[in-house]
A and B are shown apart, each in its own frame.
Chain A
Amino acid sequence: MGAVTTEFSEIAGAEPTAGGTVASLQSVTKKFKEQTALDGFSLELRAGEVVALLGPNGAGKTTAVRLLLGLSEPTAGTVRIFGGDPRERASRERLGAMLQVGRMPDTLKVREHLQLFCSYYPKPRPLDELLAIAGLEGQQDKYFGKLSGGQKQRMLFALALCGDPDLVFLDEPTLGMDVEARRSLWQQVRALSAAGKTILLTTHYLEEADALASRIVVMQTGRVVAEGRPEDLKAAQGSRTIRCVTSLNAVFLSGLSGVISAERDGETTVVRTESAESVLRTMLQEDRNLSRLEVRSAGLEETFLALTNHASHTAGKIQ
């Protein structure tokens, strides 16, 4: 993860400053029969950005994407793509979408699927480029049904790029992929970004958002919980994790000021805190036998948990 993050920061640094608004959701509320999927949600995508919508299942990520694609209508608020209605053909010719598809027709060949999608667009990408993107060079005559799970996902990704879109939506693009396939798709996303494309991806993998996005929007129950560059989100959270072997019990530790959570993990005690120094001072005083001490700054994982927990529970509660 470390290497990937560094690599990304370099790209982020070299990236041109974000341009005009490409797509937006303005104070959008989307209600289904009983539940509210989006609640006054606003999002703006600027040209050249890679934005990650990050959140647990049911946070409203897919709903946001479906609204932007004109597959569903907002209960309130407005949706704009390239300044127009998302259902206009002209808008759709300039965007590509990789959605969560359970299955696509098995009895068409790789080449045929691509050929069909290419015919929908005014300036499609050449077939061999798309095959390279899908990682299926030399396999264009294979039936879709004969592909592995990871290859199928890569095919969906290639289909999203058939029209050489300016704006790309990726809904949980690496769901069910193994590590290698995931890394390889990340490379493709970076290449798109380097080519100046605007990308919106949804994910519940923090590592993915951290590795790819220039901006992360953390969602929880249809609202924005936090938003910013990955590094700013981590810094703003500022929490650190203390691990050690101690006889002090978790209830006592979680009562200390500045402690977010404290729990036992086997013989190790894990304390998350906003004021590591003062908490440590107390712990060392109270337990002279404290051993195997380790202090880390929070990864995005912890930050994410802290943010989404903060929204649903009262702060400071023991996890």
Chain B
Amino acid sequence: MATTAVLALPQTRVSRLRLYANEIGFELFKLARNKSYLFSMIGFPVIFYLLFGVTNKNSTFQGHSIARYLLAGYACFGAMGSSLFGIGASLAIEKGQGWLEMKRASPMPAAAYLLAKLAVAFTFAFSITLLLMGLGIALAGVHLTVPEGLHLLAVIVAGVLPFATLGLIIGLVMPASASPGVINLIYLPMSFCGGLWLPIETLPHWLQVVAHGMPSYWFARVALETLGYTSGYSPIAWLLLGGYTVLFVLAAGLIFRRQESQA
């Protein structure tokens, strides 16, 4: 029968490299061609930066350029959006529509799927930061040295991790239709309180206290540090961001296992 014939053939192997490259490449195409994702992920930070950063090109706060401050803030904002929408919303939707089941029934390694989602968040966060830098330099008179720019890019990409894993939790827990709304409910207040839109010092004291519990606050600290706004936060901020990542990964694992046992 067909069974024995297959066994007799020399075993052809799946090219892992091609598999992962395809998964990542098509995941990128998929989202880059989708207008609603593009708007949520790139549109928000770019429009906000044009509205609040570029129009404040000559303003300063406590001797610092506001346009430069907001460059770091909206880069963080863009990275958070890329992670929460690119991973959270897309996972919730693919799960809700049965597409994920179809992929899970195939021999696709789960790691390829997750890695592709993560790659999307990295790529969009990186591109948004680059775009904001361009806008800042061209339209808002922002001064940025090459090392500063590279440092900011590196920090933004690394800072994707806690939000990517938070996106994973949202994607697992939320039904498809509710996910964009829930993401906005997390994304926008967290950005505001974290000091991504306004210097944290301008917020009421109690909000500043609350902000210390948010990964967005620590993300903003390290991003601002690359442009010389803050100093001395890095070790503790990275430790906490790493802690959030571990916590979210563990939580996502637990949720996944619980859902599996009920599937």
**Which residues from chain A sit less than 8 Å from chain B, CB to CB?**
16, 19-20, 22, 32-33, 47-48, 66, 69-73, 82, 89, 92-94, 97-108, 112, 115-117, 119-123, 143, 156, 159, 163, 166, 169, 195-197
Measured between alpha carbons, how far is A263 from B99 in the docked complex, in Å?
45
List residues of B (209-263) whose CB comes within 8 Å of A's CBs: 260-263
6 closest Cβ pairs, A-B complex: A107-B33, A102-B97, A92-B107, A101-B98, A97-B105, A122-B12
* A20 adjacent to B3 (CB under 8 Å): yes
B13 contacts A by Cβ under 8 Å: yes
In this complex, the member of B1, B12, B30 whose beta carbon has the largest number of chain A beta carbons within 10 angstroms is B1
Give the segment of B14-22, B74-82, B146-154 that binds chain A: B14-22
* A119 adjacent to B97 (CB under 8 Å): no
B11 contacts A by Cβ under 8 Å: yes
Instruction: Knowing A112-B29, A123-B12 are in contact, say whether A107-B3 is a contact too (CB < 8 A).
Output: no
Measured between alpha carbons, how far is A123 from B262 in the docked complex, in Å?
34
For A162, the closest partner residue in chain B by CB is B106
Measured between alpha carbons, how far is A216 from B30 in the docked complex, in Å?
40
Partner of A117, one of B31, B106, B260: B106
* A92 adjacent to B106 (CB under 8 Å): yes
* A116 adjacent to B107 (CB under 8 Å): no
Instruction: Knowing A116-B23, A156-B102 are in contact, say whether A19-B97 is a contact too (CB < 8 A).
Output: no
* B98 adjacent to A99 (CB under 8 Å): yes
For B109, the closest partner residue in chain A by CB is A89
A94 to chain B, nearest CB (A): 7
Over the window 39-52 of chain B, the binary record of Cβ atoms lying under 8 Å from chain A Cβ atoms (1 yes, 0 no) is: 00000000000000
A143 to chain B, nearest CB (A): 8
* B105 adjacent to A166 (CB under 8 Å): no
Partner of A19, one of B1, B29, B102: B1
Which of under 10, 10 to 19, 20 to 34, or 35 or more describes the interface residues of B? 35 or more
A28 to chain B, nearest CB (A): 15
**Pairs across A and B, CB under 8 Å, 15 listed:** A33-B262, A47-B2, A66-B263, A82-B3, A92-B106, A93-B14, A93-B107, A100-B98, A101-B98, A104-B97, A105-B94, A119-B15, A120-B106, A120-B107, A122-B14
Measured between alpha carbons, how far is A70 from B260 in the docked complex, in Å?
11
Partner of A107, one of B15, B18, B29, B262: B29
Measured between alpha carbons, how far is A66 from B105 in the docked complex, in Å?
9
The residues of A that contact B33 with a CB separation of less than 8 Å are 107, 143
B104 to chain A, nearest CB (A): 6
Instruction: Knowing A32-B262, A123-B12 are in contact, say whether A116-B26 is a contact too (CB < 8 A).
Output: yes
B108 contacts A by Cβ under 8 Å: yes
Measured between alpha carbons, how far is A73 from B263 in the docked complex, in Å?
7
* B107 adjacent to A89 (CB under 8 Å): yes
Instruction: Knowing A101-B99, A104-B99 are in contact, say whether A72-B263 is a contact too (CB < 8 A).
Output: yes
